[in-house]
Amino acid sequence: MSLVNLLIVFFLISSISPLIQRFSTERRRLMTIQAFERSRGSRVILLIHRQESISFLGVPVSRFISIEDSEQVLRAIRLTPPNVPIDLILHTPGGLVLATEQIARALVRHPAKVTVFVPHYAMSGGTMLAMAADEIVMDENAVLGPVDPQLGSTPAASVLKVLEDKPISEIDDQTIVTADIARKAIRQVQKFVRALLEDCVPKRKIEPERIDRIIEALTTGQVTHDYPISVEEAQELGLHVVAGLPKIIYNLMDLYPQPSMGRPTVQYIPLPYENRPMLPESIKE
């Protein structure tokens, strides 16, 4: 075989190999999702944002909850019969408030049980989605985060602190305008979080007197926006959190390594499901 032919074969193998590997990984993902769904009698939705090392031309690129994500998750929920539970696996730093609220409201409206699984972290908007569930199941070392609004890279609460600490005559007009926006943003987030918690009180058995405490802790900027809220702290606040993930979720996460650009961040079996009986919630290994 000539050198030219060898080069052609080499390039063909180099081109086809990634496609075969991608197809194999996708097949393993779908098979694992289906196995989890069969064991739980549920619809499984993955919302995974791997972003730690993505870059484009040397510039870091962040992935987050987007409008595209909300469109896909809402479609998955619409394809799920009212009596079929939803299991949402979350790995996200947060994202757009609009997209987050759309997903959260749809989860609250779903009649069957909604469970959110957090294998590593669900910060900011991810925590809002967790609060929309009937139950939050976390790895013992996983964390949630505050949901206080951010104006760009500045916490809304920190903008208001300027008004508290300086005479109004010494503050420029732009800061005053920004503070007005910050006040509105905090009020809007608090209203939404209260609605989430109050809607879920009957199902999640959240003590009504704890709602104000949760809102105060998560929305007022008492800590930095990346503050990690542990399982124990979330339980102490009054969120319905339990520790201990099924092993199959770790297997799923292994199938979603740091991505190349262009992979969808929401995945589910894109078919309407027939009504299926409830199965035990725990997976027996």
Count CA atoms closer than 13 A to 179's CA, side-chain side.
16
Who wins on pLDDT, 30 or 280?
30
Distance CA 182, CA 245 (A): 37
End-to-end CA distance of the chain: 53
pLDDT > 90 in the chain, percent:
62
| Per-position DSSP letters for 215-277, written without gaps between them | HHHHHS-SS-TT--B-HHHHHHHT--EEE---HHHHHHHHTS-SPPTT--SEE---SPPPP--
Which pLDDT does position 205 carry in this prediction?
58
CB burial class (10 A; 0-12, 13-18, 19+) of residue 36?
A: buried
Which pTM value belongs to this model? Answer: 0.80
Phi, psi of 87 (to 5 degrees): -115, 115
How many residues does this entry show for the chain? Answer: 285
- Residue the block writes with tokens 């049980």: 113
> What's the whole-number mean pLDDT along residues 240-253?
93
Dihedral (Cα; 263, 265, 268, 269), 10-degree rounding: -20
Distance CA 260, CA 81 (A): 34
Who wins on pLDDT, 228 or 273?
228
| Buried-exposed string 139-167: b where 16+ CB fall within 10 A, e elsewhere | beebbbbbbbbbeeeebbbebbebbeeee
Q: Which of 40, 37, 89, 95 is nearest to 63 (CA)?
A: 95
Distance CA 165, CA 50 (A): 39
**Residues 221, 155 contacting (CB under 8 angstroms):** yes
Q: Of 52-66, 104-118, 163-177, 264-278, where does mean pLDDT reach its minimum?
A: 52-66
Q: Hey, which bits of the chain come out as E strands?
A: 43-48, 55-56, 59-60, 86-91, 114-118, 121-122, 135-138, 143-144, 150-151, 154-155, 241-243, 266-267
Beta pairing partners, 242: 137
pLDDT digits (tens, 9 = 90+) for 57-111: 444 445 689 999 999 999 999 999 999 999 999 999 999 999 999 999 999 999 9
Which pLDDT does position 262 carry in this prediction?
55
Q: Residue 92: how many CB atoms within 10 A of its CB?
A: 26
Which pLDDT does position 114 carry in this prediction?
95
In angstroms, the Cα distances linking 103 to 31, 138, 211 are: 25, 20, 21
